[in-house]
Chain A
Amino acid sequence: MGTKNQRSSHSNFFFLCLCFSLLVSSPSLAFQSDELLVDDEEFGLEGGRSPDLDLDLTTSTRSSPPPPPQATTRTQATRKKSSDPDSDSKVQFSLDHAFGDSDFSPAGTFTARLKTGSHGGQTLTKLRFSRNAFTETEKGLFKKLLEADDFYRIRVPSNVLSPPGRDYIISAVKARCIPREGLDEHFVIHMDGVNILAVNYGSTGSCQYPRQFKFPAKWYFNSHTVLKNSEVAPRTQAFTEEILGGENGEGEGIKPPERSFWAKYWMYLIPLGLIVMNAITQAMNMPEEQAAGQSASQPQQPMAATQRGQSTVVRRR
């Protein structure tokens, strides 16, 4: 997506751009990750934290066959940590998955810090996710899903502190949307305090329709997680009377702006200009004609008559 953005902003230099697009014709992963970063920053929330503060977010959670889960990358983690005087504790909740109609089984663990705000509100920060890799049987089940174009379902508890809360939050995606290089998945967890409202689960990018049937090259997960809280609507501004001015009553609002002299009277000025121009050209022609006319006024007359006659003949035809 990033490449295209760049392209469009350089739309004037399209040749250059063409070359550029040819150069980066394959959708590069680097730019997709850029998108995720924007997401995270926008909501000031956590995807996870990596010890090496790597900017390259493609290496988010990666489940490698030996279980030690790699932490995801976060750049703002340090800043947040330093500005955290409130008490916080660690919470854990599990991610379960199901293949088609099968029962749910554990698939990973989310770890987060529970921050208690000054007025009692509890929020989760610094979410980390460790994904269990597929076992052989799970691989088999997943292959079956790919063949049947069926759903791969996940679930998380609706309350982090007392799982499963009222009910489990279920989300599903067509299994064929997940495989790319590896198994790419993207979680957006909508939170309200310690409650999870919904999980948007799917592939990181687009999922073409009709869905391609292919096995992933590598059987490990690339997981991206985003925590989202509600945006707060800005307060409706109450304007003072003076800003409103007179247009309040009418409500039409569109006031013709102050116009220049030219803008106001162009419709008179243009005909005037034309008339003047006409007059000038006539005045220019007049002396010559008069001069010619005076010298040869006698022969001019019949010629004009013949000319007129010809023209009428032409018209009649």
Chain B
Amino acid sequence: MAMAIRVFLLLLLFLSSSNLTFSLFEDQVGLMDWHQQYIGKVKHAVFHTQKAGRKRVVVSTEENVVASLDLRHGEIFWRHVLGTNDAIDEIDIALGKYVIALSSEGSILRAWNLPDGQMVWESFLPGSKPSKALLSIPTNLKVDKDHVILIYSNGCLHAVSSIDGEVLWKKELATEGIEVQQLIHPLGSDIIYAVGFVGMEKLLIHQTHVSDLFQDSSATAVILPSKLMGMVALKISSTIIFIKVADAGKLEVVDKIDHAAAVSDGLSFLEGQQALALVQHGGSKIHLTVKLGPDWSGDLLKESFEMDHQRGVVHKVFINNYIRTDRSHGFRALIVMEDHSLLLLQQGEVVWSREDGLASIIDVTTSELPVEENGVSVAKVEHNLFEWLKGHILKLKGTLMLASPEDVVAIQRIRLKSSEKSKMTRDRNGFRKLLIVLSKAGKLFALHTGDGRIVWSLLLHTLHKSEACENPTGVNVYQWQVPHHHAMDENPSILVVGRCGHSLDAPGILSIVDTYTGNELNSLGPVHSIVQIIPLPFTDPTEQRLHLLMDAGLRAHLYPRTPEAIGIFQREFANIYWYSIEADNGIIRGHVLKNNCFLEVADEFCFETKALWSIVFPSESEKIIATVTRKLNEVVHTQAKVITDQEVMYKYVSKNLLFVATVAPKAVGEIGSVTPDESWLVVYLIDTITGRILHRLTHHGSQGPVHAVFSENWVVYHYFNLRAHRYEMSVIEIYDQSRADNKDVLNLILGKHNLTSPISSYSRPEVITKSQSYFFTHSVKTIAVTSTAKGITSKQLLIGTIGDQVLALDKRFLDPRRSINPTQAEKEEGIIPLTDSLPIIPQSYVTHALQVEGLRGIVTVPAKLESTTLVFSYGVDLYFTQLAPSRTYDSLTEDFSYALLLITIVALVVAIFVTWVLSERKELQEKWR
């Protein structure tokens, strides 16, 4: 019988493991996932409108994207994301059908087919020394039906064939000491002029005139980089001056425009005439003026547009002309706003807009939605009931395969459009939340998890460029206040931390934003520098979380600055430790708080710290390349792990563990730059309270980059093995031995156990670690792990692959107890036989067939339903989905047929009655016999 049970268990296990694939059916696409495509902040735009059926604009962006957009709706026809270090210098259209892009400081030239985005050719332009990269496509320079593309890059002038990308000829210019600034090709000529400086004398010729031309020139004048015919645009504070260059070096002020934001390049639209667009701000409106150059005779167009002030100021403007139905000239303008959004203006209207700020997300946090306040009205319920019944009858039809094709379509529509998922209230399963994202432009967006729509957006004025703060950057978003007790009458809020400038010692900026309304509640700044932010596990009576902000001088500042907060803080004062990592220096230090700061102005929220421990990595042999900690809000359901033979192992679950990976300083560079003998990877597990090294392991012949994830009592990290020429993933699990004696039931009953005694970091830890390595095919961009509400559900690793997809890999594959031939008992426990490489199962791609272009991060948020976790991955694109690592064992699936259940119950009840009546009758007959 025992055998039978075993077999049964095995069968169960087999079934459960075979169910662990995540593929979905065609009709399930889009039910709980959404995908949004963006391009980033536009740098260049080239219109393609003449002689084209579909009008389009080709743009290149700061996220290194080349995209072709539909000019009517702003949709993406096609796009290509180049690598992160392949910045685009210039783009243009050649032959009317190829998009030419020059990138990587002029060393790579690529051509794509304009209609479909297929790559046509790619050529590499080597050069001797780095210089400005210029691209010029003369319209009528033909060599045997071939148009020539002229490129100046890396000190050389290249002529490239536009048909196949072949380099026709090459001329070295840099050796003659010329710094080429522009390429000029006069119409109908065979000569190219490369204009540049030999020395610097030429540049200063007209410098003296500037102050004469403009009286109030206390501010510095900047020449705008717009290409205008016979004119120069100067920007002095907020005024733009147009200066006409007359013959013989004479300068003449043509126009002065106040509050101008941006000027476009000149657009030659008629013989010898040039139009240029100018954008001005006025209140909540922006004014677009199209001027005619070079004689500056009147405005061709003057329009104003109502503009959402959350978009900030105009950064760039591109214009394009078209012929109106009445044969006059019309103009349309593409503008790039401060929040990186892209808008098309035409005929006094905003034709379309794209929120491309979402392509550059810095940090993500989540917020709950408001609690549903009142019950729904009866009428609504009745209406809903009818709809509900109809829907379920349709579904039943579908289940019983009676549905006609129209019905199938209707079912699919009902499922996709279910208003449930995009409601603005909290749901019982916790699937509906707000994703609060901070973009590089300093704008906050709240996205609804149901359908990915923008609920509100806020351009933070603290992250706005100002006198006090030159170039502010957002750093992180933290949950500031999460009301539980006052959930009905208080809104949650978040803390946005930024810096004025890129260096760590730049002054910090703080801002608190309400997550329901998107209003800025409070802002501070510029304040002390912010190097590190530590959310403390304490909240004040208004449920604001205490945060400790470390400045560059190793002082701790407590926020919120309230007396209650200081009271709570003083109570826990002795138990607050923190650590700092000096990655360049190779030192990790532990600190403890000491006393209040000695400043000129007494500040009771500021504390001095003192060093408690230090770890110094030898600079000649080790360099820190990765550090990872556990997520602060991670929940571990059980400390004990039952293994074979009813043995128990206790996980060493500590919030204060730090994983550090160091490599040989030589091996910091790219993979393959060192021999296996010169490179090694050392990984550490460090207790951050006492600075103890709990585990230290060297991988010889291995190299970074290291991507790691830390959860519960295990770390998984990914690196390159130079000896095997393959990527590897390793796992370290750490177990507590001091509790290992607690497996005797009698001792537990008698209370002779140390399970409830408080754990002190100062006790000597008795830990054992287990480790194992596996080969892994992909290189990895980022790794995350699923997190659920109670931590009961088994875990999955979410691996952002180089192909910009997210792969879900069961943690069971990374179990250091795997062996080649597991025993029967181990098999029952679910240990998979050891293989040398980790399997990549095509169905387990979370992103299915989609790609999250330019993938940078994966965020997992637990839903209230234990089986489910919400996954948000971001890069240039955004992708959101729900995952159930062990299937949805605690809820019925979406397509569960309630009607079938109902019918079954009714049928059963009827059957009971019928049989009862029958039996009664029979009994009666028996009695009469």
> Residues of A with Cβ closer than 8 Å to B?
1, 4-5, 7-8, 11, 14, 18, 21, 35, 101, 149, 151, 153, 158-159, 165-174, 177, 186, 188, 190, 192-193, 195-198, 200-211, 228, 230-239, 243-244, 247-248, 250-254, 256-257, 259-260, 262-263, 266, 308-309, 312
Contacts and interface: CB of A to CB of B under 8 A. Distances in A.
5 contacts: A8-B743, A195-B616, A196-B616, A206-B763, A254-B10
Contacts of B574: 149
Contact of B773 (A18, A233, A256, A257): A233
B694 to A, nearest CB: 9
Contact of A253 (B594, B721, B835, B836): B835
B416 interface: no
Interface string B830-841: 001101100111
B773 A236 contact: yes
Nearest to B812: A253
B835 A171 contact: no
Interface stretch (B387-395, B631-639, B695-703): B695-703
A309 B743 CA distance: 60
Interface stretch (B177-185, B322-330, B341-349, B605-613): B605-613
B691 A11 contact: no
Contact of A202 (B724, B759, B764, B840): B764
A101 B926 CA distance: 101
Nearest to A170: B614
B656 interface: no
B693 A193 contact: no
A124 to B, nearest CB: 14
B601 interface: no
Contacts of B914: none
B622 interface: yes
B160 to A, nearest CB: 46
Q: Which 10 A-B pairs have the closest CB atoms?
A: A251-B839, A206-B763, A195-B618, A4-B741, A207-B762, A209-B760, A200-B692, A253-B832, A158-B616, A236-B773
A232 B700 contact: yes
Given A198-B692, A206-B763, 18 more contacts: A1-B741, A169-B615, A171-B690, A188-B693, A201-B690, A202-B690, A202-B764, A206-B738, A207-B760, A228-B696, A234-B773, A238-B775, A239-B836, A251-B840, A256-B11, A262-B3, A308-B926, A309-B927
Contacts of B7: 259, 263, 266
B618 A170 contact: no
Contacts of B143: none
A55 B4 CA distance: 52
Contacts of B592: 151
Given A171-B691, A232-B700, A203 B612 contact: no
Nearest to A32: B764
A239 B693 CA distance: 33
A231 B770 CA distance: 12
Nearest to A192: B618
Given A7-B744, A230-B682, A252 B18 contact: yes
A230 B682 CA distance: 8
B614 A151 contact: no
A186 B775 contact: no
Specify which of A101, A168, A172, A228 lies most central, judged by the most chain B CB atoms within 10 Å of its CB: A172
Contacts of B273: none
Contact of B766 (A1, A7, A198): A1
B679 to A, nearest CB: 14
A244 B835 contact: yes
B758 interface: yes
B580 to A, nearest CB: 13
Contact of A170 (B613, B738, B759): B613
Interface of B: 3-4, 7, 10-11, 13-14, 17-18, 574, 586-587, 592, 594, 610-619, 621-622, 682, 686, 690-693, 696-700, 721, 723-724, 728, 730, 738, 741, 743-744, 746-747, 752, 757-760, 762-764, 766, 771, 773-775, 813, 820, 824, 827, 832-833, 835-836, 839-841, 923, 926-927
Contacts of A252: 17-18
A254 B764 contact: no
Contacts of A177: 760, 762-763
Given A166-B616, A172-B613, A253-B833, A238 B724 contact: yes
A74 to B, nearest CB: 20
A200 B762 contact: no
Contact of A207 (B587, B744, B763): B763
A230 B696 contact: yes
A254 B827 contact: yes
Nearest to B681: A233
Given A167-B587, A206-B763, A254 B13 contact: yes
A109 B30 CA distance: 69
B863 to A, nearest CB: 27
B833 A200 contact: no
Nearest to A101: B610
Contact of B621 (A193, A228, A232, A248): A193
Contact of A233 (B612, B697, B832): B697
B616 A254 contact: no
A142 to B, nearest CB: 16
A256 B728 contact: no
Contacts of A11: 743-744, 746
B880 to A, nearest CB: 27
Contact of B613 (A165, A171, A257, A309): A171
B11 A203 contact: no
A140 B418 CA distance: 75
Contact of B741 (A5, A166, A201, A203): A5
Contacts of A171: 613, 690-691
A173 B690 contact: yes
Contacts of B594: 101
A195 B774 CA distance: 31
B771 A233 contact: yes
B696 A190 contact: yes
Specify which of B613, B747, B760 lies most central, judged by the most chain A CB atoms within 10 Å of its CB: B613
A139 to B, nearest CB: 21
A24 to B, nearest CB: 13
B619 A166 contact: yes
A259 B594 CA distance: 68
Given A149-B574, A253-B833, A254-B827, A203 B762 contact: yes
B4 A263 contact: yes
B616 A197 contact: yes
Contact of B698 (A7, A233, A260): A233
Contacts of A165: 616
Given A195-B618, A203-B764, A230-B697, A8 B741 contact: yes
A263 B744 contact: no
A177 B760 CA distance: 10
A251 B14 contact: no
B758 A14 contact: no
A205 B622 contact: no
Contacts of B13: 254
A159 B827 CA distance: 49
A260 B3 contact: yes
B10 A200 contact: no
A102 B698 CA distance: 37
A236 B747 CA distance: 41
A11 B752 CA distance: 14
A133 to B, nearest CB: 23
Contacts of A1: 738, 741, 766
A205 B738 CA distance: 10
Contact of A8 (B744, B759, B764, B836): B744
B724 A236 contact: yes
Contacts of A263: 3-4, 7
Contact of B14 (A208, A254, A259): A254
Contacts of B836: 236-239, 244
B571 to A, nearest CB: 14
Contacts of A210: 758
A247 B833 contact: yes
Contact of A209 (B18, B691, B758): B758
